[in-house]
Amino acid sequence: MNYQFQNILENLEEGNTLELTEENFSNEILLNEYLQCAILGKINFFNCDFESIDFTGSTFVACKFNNCRVKNTTFRKSQFWNSTFESCQIEKCDLTRGGFYGGNFKNCNFLDVNLRASDFSDFEFIETKFNKSNLDLIGVRSVKLWQSNQCIEIEKSSNFKEFLNK
């Protein structure tokens, strides 16, 4: 059964943890929500706008974000397991100390995003651009970076930031 994400949030009682699995949401606009420590599994977001949402400490498992716009949203210390992002615009977001495991960013644009001290493992960056973003102290293990149909495999963090800024 598919519900509007906004309706689910409106009916969420204060102090409860949001746990959703196997849902599809499309053409939604989410503004000014506080969803810390949410657990989202197998959720598909298509053409959704996220603005000023606080997902601090949340866990996303096998979620798909397709053609989504994310602005002024906080994902500090959030984890993304086997999640994919395709054709997403991510602007002025805080992904500090985020964990990204077994997923990818494909044709995504990051503008003024803080990724400081985030960890990427078994992850792919496909035609993804980072503009004015903080990429300091990023941890990398088995990452593939695709640019202009060329694949660069990166095993360790040492020069990852340099590759992303090309």
pLDDT tens digits in sequence order for the chain, 166 residues long: 345 776 776 666 665 556 555 566 666 667 777 788 888 888 888 888 888 888 999 999 999 999 999 999 999 999 999 999 999 999 999 999 999 999 999 999 999 999 999 999 999 999 999 999 999 999 888 898 887 888 888 876 656 667 666 5
Q: Write down all domains in the chain, each with its CATH number in brackets.
A: 17-164 (2.160.20.80)
Could you write out the three-class secondary structure of the chain?
CCCCHHHHHHCCCCCCCCEEEEEEEECCEEECCECCCCEEEEEEEECCEEECCECCCCEEECCEEECCEEECCECCCCEEECCEEECCEEECCECCCCEEECCEEECCEEECCECCCCEEEEEEEECCEEECCECCCCEEEEEEEEECCEEEEECCCCCHHHHHCC
pTM for the structure as a whole: 0.85
